[in-house]
Amino acid sequence: SQQGEEDPQALSIQEGENATMNCSYKTSINNLQWYRQNSGRGLVHLILIRSNEREKHSGRLRVTLDTSKKSSSLLITASRAADTASYFCATPQTGGGSNYKLTFGKGTLLTVNP
Amino acid sequence: EPEVTQTPSHQVTQMGQEVILRCVPISNHLYFYWYRQILGQKVEFLVSFYNNEISEKSEIFDDQFSVERPDGSNFTLKIRSTKLEDSAMYFCASSGDTRKEFFGPGTRLTVL
């Protein structure tokens, strides 16, 4: 089964508009993380939301988490051309103890047109 | 702000050659990871490392792969005999007690 699947796969908006990306997952989690990746570059951690949190803000980012629906959303308000990137949700999978890894979705490619 | 660094940024090699990808994790972190991303695909977990041993590895991480923390700062990924399908972006990550992972900028490996 796929863990951490984002939709839409691609989103194109005008500068100043808001962008909303969604992520669904299948297994229980203790947190969910969102990352950004500019084309061909590294992963930048944006925000981590814990399973006991419903909403979290960081600057122009707002993340929600609905554990009953196993879904999360990332909202970027007042988008800028520099927000153009791929956005991934990632969920930790743990086998207990030191076993821990992130499972990434395929990502949403956001294009913000100036 | 501390960051994870990786070298080289781009490595080109011939099929069958050995490559070593290097990472310097954040200094007080205890957990280290390698992930890879084949062009246009998901970021995939390869291996995690804690207390000088592998904690977990994926099915991708076969006998051709090995990791090492040779000193107190470096964390390396070795591919013994590269294949064409090893061409990918390789990301190192590290985390502390919070388990929030900080990723390096990646090494782009091209196998010809």
pLDDT at A105: 87
Whole-Å CA distances, B10 to A25, A46, A75, B51: 33, 25, 33, 29
pLDDT at A4: 65
pLDDT of residue B94 exceeding 60, the answer is yes
Res. A97 pLDDT band, cuts 50 70 90 = low
Show Cβ contacts of residue B102 under 8 Å, excluding neighbours closer than 6 positions.
Answer: A45, B2, B3, B4, B26, B29, B93, B94, B95
pLDDT at A40: 73
A-contacting residues in B 42-61 (Cβ below 8 Å): 42-45, 48, 50-51, 55-56, 58
Report the alpha-carbon distance of residue B61 to residue B26 in Å, rounded: 23
Taking alpha carbons only, the member of A18, A15, A38, A27 closest to residue A91 is A27
Mean local confidence (pLDDT), A45-65: 95
pLDDT at A96: 55
pLDDT of residue A88 exceeding 70, the answer is yes
Res. A2 pLDDT band, cuts 50 70 90 = very low
pLDDT of residue A17 exceeding 60, the answer is yes
Chain A residue set in contact with B, beta carbons under 8 Å: 31, 33, 35, 40-45, 48, 88, 90, 92, 95, 97-107
Report the alpha-carbon distance of residue A56 to residue B74 in Å, rounded: 34
Chain A contact for B31 (CB, 8 A cutoff): yes
* DSSP assigned state of B86: G
Amino acid present at A47: I
Mean local confidence (pLDDT), A93-113: 80
pLDDT of residue B23 exceeding 90, the answer is yes
Show Cβ contacts of residue B1 under 8 Å, excluding neighbours closer than 6 positions.
Answer: none
Res. B98 pLDDT band, cuts 50 70 90 = confident
Report the alpha-carbon distance of residue A1 to residue A103 in Å, rounded: 11
| pLDDT tens, residue by residue, B50-82 | 988 999 999 999 999 999 998 878 999 999 999
DSSP for A8-40 reads -SEEEEETTS-EEEEEE--S--SEEEEEEE-TT
Taking alpha carbons only, the member of B12, B14, B13, B32 closest to residue B23 is B32
pLDDT at A3: 56
Contact A102 B101 (CB under 8 A): yes
Report the alpha-carbon distance of residue B18 to residue B20 in Å, rounded: 7
Smallest Cβ–Cβ distance between B55 and the set A40, A98, A104 belongs to: A98
Secondary structure (3-state) at A47:
strand
Q: Is the dihedral of CA B76, B26, B42, B106 positive or negative?
A: negative
